[in-house]
């Protein structure tokens, strides 16, 4: 026990009286005890504090006095006698009531229970200790700390023997971020049970408020509340609450509320004599929130009820029972497993016997005339095993019964619900957006093994092309094996080497197929000719072998090889200057220019007998430098004598915030790149009517982000002979209120032109309006128009969306009760 007090000190003339008496007389403990009591009564330079366990000396600490403030500590029949080096207490401040064995202790005490080792610290304006009952009674601004909890009140009585604290008068208990307050709180500091009267509790994790005439924790995981009310709304007059006559709850089990009423303000909306509810913080088997929808033209009434099965801490499953009025019953199941950091995965599958009749005549690839039932299905399997940091297996398999699956189920499906681009959630990692915009689907199985300077990858790749009339013409890789040598110095020379070796078996049901092998070693020697200019000469050759095993009859040899050489050199620089600006926290701006020129030469290439199943879309040769030219060099299987250039401008600001921390913002970036074909410029025009076109398309990349509320991006391709070939723009504008505007424009000559608009307006503090518009300008059709309105308060919200597409009209009503429910019905 530690006595902590605010002391008054008189004089120092009797500082060492007890020490002298006890050491000179050398009498037994009984006589010493009597002397100590007499000295305590008649001599104010010493004080006594109880140590009921009579085993160890108590530790003493005096407020505003260092460890040298007292000279000696003696234990005498359960009493602890302190000999202060400074003035002792006034008789007014400390009295010994021999009749009741009450010891006043000014300030506070740290109490330790010898039976269980638990301790509690008490601070108060005044406090006394009952020697007989082992009870501390604190009054006035009492603060008690124990086992990570803090209890405060006007009056606290602590029964040290039974570990029970009774707090009255503005009683307040804080446990982490959670709080409990009431007229009276009784708590057992050992088993954490207790009861609070006229109490209110707050659970910070989900902003949950609970009130009751009596809130009692009856066991480790059981609670009883008399006259309960619960809400996630702040304030004394919540917008909604659930009330009842009494409630019993078992954490990780269930709760039951009697005479349950749901109130909106003071208006009762719902009543149930008995309302059972789950009270689980861990995964438990049971029904999940249902999906309710209505589609005027495509589906009709749409209801899905998921059931979650917690198989084990490492495995679970979800079963989806879905009824679609115009299609039938759709059954789905998801199985997830987590076998530690090294192995985890997800499998999902669904099946429906679709009875909806559909007739579409858009084009040959997507036309259909379904007048009978169709068996439709999909599956998805994602798995990863990490054998070590440089050795892993990944599978990403997905398949659908037909190319119209995502078009027909675009409003709601498993893949949309689990779509995630970031990969932060291991179990929410569907990498594609499963709606009508999906044009193809790839499945892969990949094994990777890495070493310090090399890596080996084996892969099987299967592609479903939804835009093709027949997927039998789509090339599949069964398998692909790639050995890569990472760029590294050759011995101790300035020469660097790297290589890539590839084997493919390219398969398709119709057309040419077979084996393809190539090996591409590259040697380079980078050096600087000044502090501003860097040169990288490079030499590479590509040795290719192929062997067809299809049944196509043509004049080409089915087995052949080819060697292609490439020599190139790059010249690059990096120039920069820093400007002092000191405007709105922007201290400096750095302007950087990065020009680069690459010359590439490939001699005449023999194109005889080259199969049509492997023609790369861009140069197979690694360009030196930063290589912005993958798109401008084009197919490098032909003779090439060309120069490519790029020019990059960036502006970067150094920003100091209000706390003195620095950050950097690249607020402007402009990059231009193009190729000039010397071979094309010098070719003979004899007998040729088409003009020479040595300049490739000009690539333009532009990014502007001068403020956190504004961003603009452009990705364009300009044909210097025929005009714009491709333009893509994205504009994002928002403000401090949350108003947002996003505009996206996409154009590709002779194929795509569309504009997408998203607007969110904060109409009032509690009302938001949204507008979404997607237009296909190339085909003169409206993809989607949506108007929405949402009213939200601190703890609830309600709104609707009205959506019109080219083939359906949907109405969605949404309601949200913070901490309890977030759902909508269409």
Query: Where would I find the beta strands (DSSP E) of 339-426?
Result: 343-354, 358-360, 368-370, 374-388, 391-400
Q: Are residues 303 and 391 in the same domain?
A: yes
The rounded distance, in Å, linking the Cα atoms of 460 and 447 is 9
Q: 814 versus 466: which is more confidently predicted?
A: 466
Q: Are residues 242 and 316 in the same domain?
A: no
Structure tokens at 651: 């502006």
Last residue of a domain, one of 229, 248, 282: 282
Would residue 552 count as lying in a domain? no
Would residue 422 count as lying in a domain? yes
In contact, 788 and 273? CB cutoff 8 Å: no
Q: Are residues 290 and 431 in the same domain?
A: yes
Q: Are residues 275 and 308 in the same domain?
A: no
Burial of 81 (0-12, 13-18, 19+ CB in 10 A): buried
Q: Quick one: pLDDT at residue 421?
A: 64
Sign of the torsion angle spanned by Cα atoms 674, 677, 681, 684: negative
Residue 553 pLDDT grade (very low, low, confident, very high; cuts 50, 70, 90): confident
Q: Quick one: pLDDT at residue 375?
A: 96
Q: Comparing 40-49, 97-106, 376-385, 659-668, which segment has the lowest mean pLDDT? A: 40-49
Q: Are residues 256 and 317 in the same domain?
A: no
The rounded distance, in Å, linking the Cα atoms of 289 and 291 is 7
Q: 161 versus 117: which is more confidently predicted?
A: 161
Q: Are residues 273 and 291 in the same domain?
A: no
Residue 387 pLDDT grade (very low, low, confident, very high; cuts 50, 70, 90): very high
Give pLDDT tens digits for 631-646. Answer: 444 444 577 899 999 9
Q: How many domains does the chain have?
A: 3
Last residue of a domain, one of 282, 298, 316: 282
Domain hosting residue 253, numbered range: 193-282
Give pLDDT tens digits for 258-278. Answer: 998 888 888 887 888 988 766
CA 377 to chain centre: 31
Average pLDDT over residues 120-142: 88
Average pLDDT over residues 15-35: 36
The rounded distance, in Å, linking the Cα atoms of 400 and 365 is 16
Structure tokens at 171: 């009683």
Would residue 298 count as lying in a domain? yes
Last residue of a domain, one of 259, 282, 305: 282
- Spatial neighbors of 531 by CB under 8 A, at least 6 apart, are none
Q: 513 versus 470: which is more confidently predicted?
A: 513
In contact, 362 and 349? CB cutoff 8 Å: no
Q: Quick one: pLDDT at residue 291?
A: 79
Q: Are residues 250 and 273 in the same domain?
A: yes
Q: Are residues 276 and 290 in the same domain?
A: no
Would residue 507 count as lying in a domain? no
Q: Quick one: pLDDT at residue 422?
A: 60
Is residue 23 pLDDT above 50, yes or no? Answer: no
DSSP string covering 266-334? TEEEEEEEEEEEEE-SS---EEPPPEEEEETTTTEEEEEEEEEEEEETTEEEEEEEEEETTTEEEEEEE
Residue 115 pLDDT grade (very low, low, confident, very high; cuts 50, 70, 90): low
Average pLDDT over residues 429-449: 89
Q: Are residues 303 and 270 in the same domain?
A: no
Give pLDDT tens digits for 173-226. Answer: 998 888 999 999 999 988 888 999 999 988 877 688 889 999 998 887 788 999
- Spatial neighbors of 178 by CB under 8 A, at least 6 apart, are 201, 202, 203, 204, 205
Percent of the chain whose predicted confidence (pLDDT) is above 90: 46
- Spatial neighbors of 497 by CB under 8 A, at least 6 apart, are 485, 487, 488, 490, 521, 522, 523, 524
In contact, 319 and 347? CB cutoff 8 Å: no
CA 26 to chain centre: 72
- Residues β-bridged to residue 129: 103, 136
Q: Are residues 236 and 224 in the same domain?
A: yes
Average pLDDT over residues 532-541: 93
Percent of the chain whose predicted confidence (pLDDT) is above 70: 79
Q: 87 versus 764: which is more confidently predicted?
A: 764
Would residue 341 count as lying in a domain? yes
Average pLDDT over residues 128-137: 88
Please state, rounded to an integer, the average pLDDT across all residues of the chain.
81
Q: What is the DSSP letter of 637?
A: T
Q: Quick one: pLDDT at residue 286?
A: 73
Would residue 618 count as lying in a domain? no
Q: Quick one: pLDDT at residue 129?
A: 87
Would residue 8 count as lying in a domain? no
Q: Quick one: pLDDT at residue 637?
A: 59
Q: Comparing 82-91, 600-609, 758-767, which segment has the lowest mean pLDDT? A: 82-91
Q: Quick one: pLDDT at residue 399?
A: 95
Would residue 807 count as lying in a domain? yes
Q: Are residues 230 and 293 in the same domain?
A: no
Q: Are residues 251 and 290 in the same domain?
A: no
Is residue 417 pLDDT above 80, yes or no? Answer: yes
Q: Quick one: pLDDT at residue 439?
A: 87
Give pLDDT tens digits for 62-78. Answer: 333 333 433 333 333 33
């Amino acid at each position: 026990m530690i006595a902590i007090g605010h002391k008054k000190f008189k004089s120092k003339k009797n500082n060492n009286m007890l020490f002298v008496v006890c050491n000179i007389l050398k009498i037994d403990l009984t006589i010493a005890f009597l002397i100590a009591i007499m000295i305590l009564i008649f001599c104010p330079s010493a004080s006594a504090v109880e140590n009921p366990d009579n085993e160890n000396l108590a530790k003493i600490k005096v407020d505003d006095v260092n460890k040298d403030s007292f000279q000696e500590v003696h234990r005498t029949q359960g009493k602890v006698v302190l000999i202060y080096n400074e003035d002792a207490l006034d008789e007014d401040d400390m009295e010994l009531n021999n009749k009741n064995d009450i010891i006043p202790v000014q300030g506070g005490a740290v109490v330790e229970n010898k039976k269980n080792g638990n301790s509690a610290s008490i601070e108060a304006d005044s406090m006394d200790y009952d020697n007989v009952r082992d009870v501390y009674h604190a009054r006035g601004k009492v603060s008690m700390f124990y086992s990570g909890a803090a209890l405060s009140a006007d009056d606290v009585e602590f029964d040290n023997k039974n570990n029970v604290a009774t707090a009255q008068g503005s009683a307040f208990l804080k446990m982490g971020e959670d709080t409990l307050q009431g007229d009276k709180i009784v708590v057992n500091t050992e088993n954490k049970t207790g009861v609070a009267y006229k109490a209110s509790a707050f659970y910070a994790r989900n902003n949950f408020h609970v009130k009751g005439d009596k809130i009692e924790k009856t066991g480790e995981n059981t609670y009883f509340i008399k006259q309960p009310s619960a809400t996630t709304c702040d304030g004394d007059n919540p917008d909604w609450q659930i009330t009842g006559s009494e409630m019993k709850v078992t954490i990780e089990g269930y709760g039951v509320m009697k005479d349950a009423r749901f109130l909106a303000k003071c208006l009762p909306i719902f009543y149930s004599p008995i309302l059972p509810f789950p009270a689980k913080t861990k995964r438990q088997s049971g029904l999940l929130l249902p999906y309710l929808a209505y589609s005027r033209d495509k589906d009709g009434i749409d209801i899905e009820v998921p059931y979650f099965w917690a198989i084990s801490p490492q495995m679970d499953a979800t079963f989806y029972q879905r009824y679609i009025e115009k299609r039938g019953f759709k059954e789905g199941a998801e199985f997830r497993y987590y076998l530690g950091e090294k192995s985890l995965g997800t499998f999902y599958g669904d099946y429906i016997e679709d009875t909806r009749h559909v007739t579409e005549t858009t084009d040959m690839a997507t036309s259909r005339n379904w007048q009978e039932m169709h068996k439709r299905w999909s599956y998805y399997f994602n798995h990863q095993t990490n054998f070590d940091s440089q050795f892993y297996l990944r599978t990403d398999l997905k398949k659908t019964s037909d190319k119209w699956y995502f078009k027909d189920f675009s409003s709601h499906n498993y893949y949309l619900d689990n779509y995630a681009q970031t990969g932060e959630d291991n179990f929410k990692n569907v990498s594609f957006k499963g709606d009508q915009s999906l044009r193809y689907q790839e499945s892969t199985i990949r094994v990777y093994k890495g070493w310090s300077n090399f890596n080996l990858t084996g892969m099987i790749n299967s592609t479903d092309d939804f835009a093709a009339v027949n997927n039998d013409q789509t090339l599949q890789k069964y398998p692909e094996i790639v050995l890569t040598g990472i760029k590294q110095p050759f011995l101790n020379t300035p020469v660097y080497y790297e290589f890539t070796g590839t084997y493919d078996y390219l398969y398709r049901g119709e057309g040419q197929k077979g084996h393809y092998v190539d090996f591409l070693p590259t040697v380079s020697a980078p050096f600087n000719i000044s502090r501003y200019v860097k040169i990288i000469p490079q030499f590479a050759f590509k040795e290719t072998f192929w062997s067809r095993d299809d049944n196509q009859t043509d004049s080409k040899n089915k087995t052949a090889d080819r060697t292609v050489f490439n020599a190139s050199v790059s010249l690059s620089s990096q120039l920069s200057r820093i400007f002092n600006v000191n405007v709105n926290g922007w201290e400096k701006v750095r302007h950087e220019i990065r020009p680069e020129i690459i010359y590439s030469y490939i001699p005449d290439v023999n194109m005889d007998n080259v199969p049509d199943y492997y023609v790369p879309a861009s140069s197979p040769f690694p360009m030196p430098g930063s290589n912005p030219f993958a798109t401008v060099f084009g197919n490098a299987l032909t003779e090439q004598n060309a120069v490519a250039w790029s020019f990059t401008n960036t502006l970067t600001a150094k920003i100091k915030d209000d706390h003195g921390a620095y950050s950097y913002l690249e607020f402007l970036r402009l990059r231009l790149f193009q190729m000039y074909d010397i071979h094309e410029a010098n070719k003979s025009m004899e007998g040729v009517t088409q003009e020479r076109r040595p300049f490739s398309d000009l690539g333009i990349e532009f990014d502007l982000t001068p403020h956190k509320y504004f961003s603009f991006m452009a990705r364009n391709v300009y044909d210097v002979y025929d005009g714009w070939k491709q333009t893509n723009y994205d504009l994002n504008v928002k403000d401090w209120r949350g108003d947002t505007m996003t505009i996206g424009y996409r154009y590709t000559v002779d194929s795509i032109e569309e504009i997408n608009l998203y607007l969110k307006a904060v109409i009032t503090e509690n009302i938001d309006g949204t507008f979404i518009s997607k237009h296909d300008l190339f085909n003169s059709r409206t993809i989607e128009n949506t108007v929405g309105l949402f009213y939200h308060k601190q703890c609830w919200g309600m709104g609707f969306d009205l959506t019109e597409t080219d083939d359906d009209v949907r109405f969605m009503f949404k309601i949200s009760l913070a901490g309890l429910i977030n759902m909508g019905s269409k």
